[in-house]
Amino acid sequence: MLELAKRPAKRLAEALATLLARTRVTPNGLTVIGFLLNVVVAAVLATGSLRLGGVLLLLAGAFDTLDGALARVTGATSRFGAFLDSSLDRYSEGLLLLGLLYDASRRGDGVVEVLAFTVILGSLMVSYCRARAEGLGLTCEVGFAPRPERVLILGVGLILGLELPALAILAVLTNLTALQRILHVYAITRQDAGPSLPAGPTESPP
C-alpha cells in the first residue's frame, strides 16, 4: 500500500537524520523519544480527542522512522537498537489502542471496545509470527498490514471521524496478516520436511 511513498519518505528521513547527526542525539535516544510521543498520543486518544489524536499519531509515526535513518547515516546500527525499536513499537501500538479502548469504555461503546481488543490481539500476533519464524531461521515479512500501514489506516480514520470503520478494517487485516504468516511458514517448513518413514508392522502384545 505504501510502496510508492516509501522511497521519497526514506530520502526525507535520511536528510533529516543527516542534520540530527550533527547533534549528540543517538538512534536509541530517538527511539525512546518516539515511544514517549506515542504515550502522549495514547493519552490524547483516551480523553476522546480522536481527530487531534489522529493527527498526532501520523506525526509520531513519521518520527518513528528517524531512529533507523540516523543509525544508517551515522553507521551506528546495532542488534540492541533493532531489538529496542521493535520492542517499543509493540508497546506504542498497544498503548494507542488501549487509549481508544478506554475512551470507548468511557462512552459505553461496546462495539469499539471489542474491535480495539481484536486489533490489539491481531497486531501482537503479526509481530509474534514474524519473531517466532525468524527465531527458527525463517524469513517471514509477508502480510497485508505491517505496522506503517496500520498507523496510516488508524490515523486517517480518526482524522476523518471514521474510528469504527478504521478499527474494523484493522481487525480484519491484522488477523489476516497473522494467518498469512502462519500459512507462509507452513509452506516453507512443509517444503523442507523430508518424506515420512512408513509405519512398521504392529506387534501383538505378549
Residue 48 · residue 107 · CB < 8 Å: yes
CB 112 within 8 A of CB 164: yes
pTM (predicted TM-score): 0.82
Q: Is 146 left (phi over 0), alpha (psi -120 to 50) or beta?
A: beta
For domain 3-191, the CATH class is: mainly alpha
List the chain pLDDT tens, one digit each, 206 residues: 455 556 676 777 777 878 877 788 888 888 999 999 999 999 999 999 999 999 999 999 888 888 888 888 888 788 898 899 889 999 999 999 999 999 999 999 999 999 999 999 999 999 899 999 998 898 888 877 788 889 999 999 999 999 999 999 999 999 999 999 999 999 988 876 655 444 444 444 44
Q: Is 177 helix (H, G, I), strand (E, B) or coil?
A: helix
